[in-house]
Structure 1
């Protein structure tokens, strides 16, 4: 796919800084123009000469390996329902003990910790 990139065609320009952890924030003007929401996927295309085209990925692409694994699990559950059991209460108690007092903010930026 040959793509001609002419900076005169740009309707919006923005910049951001790369952090020490190689992360960046997509500027608000770009997020708004692409109608990006948290959790959505972004597609990057690297062009010759080091230019990158960033676009909103319209559809979430399925991972073929995960899809095959989930199909395997589904088929096994249908063929062998006798192997499906409740998770023991002691298991859940152990999980609760291990995670007691741990709070996770999935929207917080990653830290070196």
Structure 2
């Protein structure tokens, strides 16, 4: 039988709390992840990691979190995009039609 771990946290005046590190590790929680609460009839509350909603892309979410962290940590690395770069991109992609609702071909999957 696996060992049972018990941890505590304190509610602030605004009824907020920090999820203890032990719980975050056990549920593999990261920043901006969602938590699901199941309230049982006897008053017991079970805390689990919320499943991704259809349409949520966990890889994209992690990449966006990485970008946000990198921008916040190194704002000096940000560069502006000048008009000549935009024109170059448009020349490379101009006239290409994309149907975002079309199914991928077998080669593209």
The TM-score bracket by the shorter chain reads: 0.3 to 0.5
In the superposition, the TM-score normalised over structure 2's length comes to 0.44
In the superposition, the TM-score normalised over structure 1's length comes to 0.43
